[in-house]
């Protein structure tokens, strides 16, 4: 057995404060799992301060990123490149990712125990010329949508990703990609497969059809209004705003000189982004942190998104929960429970301070420390 493999199953004694309540907790890890009774020979996992200075999270979650989209140019990333994307997230303390669509199969990440867990949405589903070229499965006719949704549901890990709206160059503005009727059939097909559905939506007009069809989550959501926010609350629909991606809307507008109505629309959505997200939060819409890394956003920026959620009005505990324990629960994972995989991050200081959050003192995944000491 190699030295690193021996260390991977080393036993550790973990003590510190846990969130959301800040109370001290104590547990052990053994063979990569959390146990609630002392383990003989367990070493103390020490971040250099007192127990009061040591804070424990069940790791961070990036609820919207892409492992397999090449940064900068779009398109598919190489295997080596996408493994590096996952590694960058892990080193930032992100131990669970929801992949919101990848043009290449990233299933091989699951063969690397040193890389984060991924919950996949298969490939984006769009129509020709109605999304970033090279990323989605393009359907020539929307009648194909329910069957494609079933295919992507089977290819993924419980999520399907639709492109809900995009610029229509013939119109010169954002418009919905799908009719209300086909969305009902498509989302019913996903639910029949046991998958949840989410959609990329920047503008206002695609939201009523998606929400009326029973969608489970909205990505971006900059076009939410009081009416569609109320529909989200009624349906228990989650929102992943990806505010650090919304921050790029002015650049998108600057580059769209041929489409002045679209450019003005994107600028307006950007201007009111914090008010929109705050209104959704105040109304009770569950909000989770996603960076949209891959493509135009670099990996490893979850702390920036937590910062942005605070700017949008979430308190420090809710903003961090949106990127940790609350997001884990939404994605079907428990947090720091006996018997579960020892996935956790430790901080010297309260990670609700974002400078602390940026620099985890310990990243433990499946019981192994990263970097390996
Ligand atoms: Zn995305």
- pLDDT score recorded for residue 173: 98
- Whole-number Å distance between alpha carbons of 177 and 161: 13
100 alpha carbon to ligand 1 midpoint, in Å?
A: 6
Please indicate, yes or no, whether residues 51 and 66 belong to a single structural domain of this protein: no
Q: Quick one: 170 and 292 in the same domain?
A: yes
22-69 tens-digit pLDDT: 999 999 999 999 999 999 999 999 888 788 899 999 999 999 999 999
Q: Which two tokens stand for residue 331?
A: 């994605």
Same domain for 350 and 250, yes or no, is: no
Q: Identify the CA nearest to 14 among candidates 342, 325, 320, 353.
A: 342
For residue 317, the Cα-to-chain-centroid distance in whole angstroms is 18
Q: What is the dihedral of CA 106, 292, 238, 285, to 10 degrees?
A: 160
Distance 367 CA to ligand 1 centre (A): 30
Going by pLDDT thresholds of 50, 70 and 90, the confidence category of residue 299 is very high
Distance 9 CA to ligand 1 centre (A): 35
- 99 CA distance to ligand 1 middle (Å): 8
Ligand 1 mean position to 53 CA, how many Å?
A: 36
- CA–centroid distance, 252 to ligand 1, in Å, is 15
Q: Which residues of 250-279 are buried (b: 16+ CB within 10 A; e: fewer)?
A: eebbeebeebeebbebbeebbeebbebbbb
How far, in Å, from the CA of 109 to the mean position of ligand 1? 19
Same domain, 211 and 289: yes
The reply to whether 215 and 146 lie within a common domain is yes
Indicate if 325 and 199 belong to the same structural domain. Answer: yes
> What is the Å distance from ligand 1's center to 293 Cα?
7
27 lies in the same domain as 105:
no
298 and 155 housed in the same domain: yes
Confidence bin at 371 (pLDDT 50/70/90): confident
Domain count, the chain: 2
Range of the domain at 15: 3-58+335-371
Q: Note whether 163 and 211 are same-domain residues.
A: yes
Q: Are residues 124 and 23 in the same domain?
A: no
pLDDT at 372 over 80: no
> Can you give the pLDDT at residue 73?
76
The CATH code of the domain that includes 186 is 3.20.20.140
Mean of pLDDT values over 335-360: 95
Q: How far apart are the CA of 64 and the centre of ligand 1, in A?
A: 6
Q: What is the mean pLDDT of residues 140-156?
A: 98
Query: What distance in Å separates the CA atoms of residue 176 and residue 163, rounded to the nearest whole number?
Result: 9
32 Cα–ligand 1 center, Å? 32
On whether both 107 and 209 belong to a single domain, the answer is yes
Question: Tokens 């890890």 — which residue?
Answer: 29
CATH number of the structural domain spanning residue 35: 2.30.40.10
State how far the Cα of 223 lies from the Cα of 63, in Å rounded to an integer. 20
Distance 71 CA to ligand 1 centre (A): 12
**Gap between the Cα atoms of 219 and 153, Å rounded:** 18
CA–centroid distance, 356 to ligand 1, in Å, is 27
Asked if residue 141 and residue 229 are part of one domain, the reply reads yes
Q: Distance, CA 246 to ligand 1 centroid (Å)?
A: 11
Stretch 296-314: mean pLDDT: 97
For residue 138, the CA-to-ligand 1 centroid distance in Å is 16
């Amino acid at each position: 057995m190699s030295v690193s493999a021996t260390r991977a199953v080393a036993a550790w004694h973990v003590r510190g404060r846990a969130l959301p309540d800040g109370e001290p907790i104590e547990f052990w890890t053994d063979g990569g799992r959390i146990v609630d009774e002392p383990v003989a020979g367990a070493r103390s996992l020490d971040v250099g301060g007192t127990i009061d200075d040591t804070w424990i999270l069940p790791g961070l979650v990036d609820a919207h990123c892409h492992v397999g989209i090449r940064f900068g140019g779009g398109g598919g990333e190489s295997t080596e490149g996408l493994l590096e994307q996952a590694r960058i997230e892990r080193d930032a303390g992100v131990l669970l990712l929801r992949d919101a669509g990848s043009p290449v199969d990233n299933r091989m990440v699951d063969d690397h125990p040193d890389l984060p867990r991924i919950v996949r949405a298969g490939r984006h589903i769009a129509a020709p010329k109605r999304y970033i070229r090279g990323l989605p499965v393009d359907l020539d006719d929307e009648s194909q949508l329910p069957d494609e949704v079933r295919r992507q549901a089977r290819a993924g890990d419980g999520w399907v990703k639709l492109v809900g709206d995009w610029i229509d160059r013939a119109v010169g503005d954002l418009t919905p990609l799908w009719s209300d009727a086909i969305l009902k059939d498509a989302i019913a097909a996903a639910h029949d497969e046991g998958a949840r559905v989410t959609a990329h939506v920047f503008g206002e007009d695609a939201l009523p059809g998606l929400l009326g069809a029973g969608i489970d989550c909205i990505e971006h959501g900059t076009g939410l209004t009081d009416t569609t926010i109320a529909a989200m609350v009624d349906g228990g629909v989650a929102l992943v705003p990806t505010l650090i991606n919304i921050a790029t809307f002015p650049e998108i507008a600057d580059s769209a000189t041929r489409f002045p109505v679209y450019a003005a629309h994107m600028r307006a959505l950007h201007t009111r982004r914090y008010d929109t997200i705050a209104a959704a939060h105040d109304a009770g819409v569950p909000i989770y942190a996603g960076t949209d890394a891959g493509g135009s956003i670099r990996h490893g920026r979850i702390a920036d998104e937590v910062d942005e959620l605070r700017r949008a009005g979430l308190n420090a505990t809710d903003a961090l929960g949106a990127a940790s324990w609350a997001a884990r629960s939404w994605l079907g994972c428990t947090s720091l429970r006996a018997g579960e995989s020892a996935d956790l991050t430790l901080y010297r200081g309260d990670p609700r301070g974002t400078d602390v959050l940026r620099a985890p003192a310990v990243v433990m995944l499946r019981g192994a420390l990263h970097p390996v000491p």
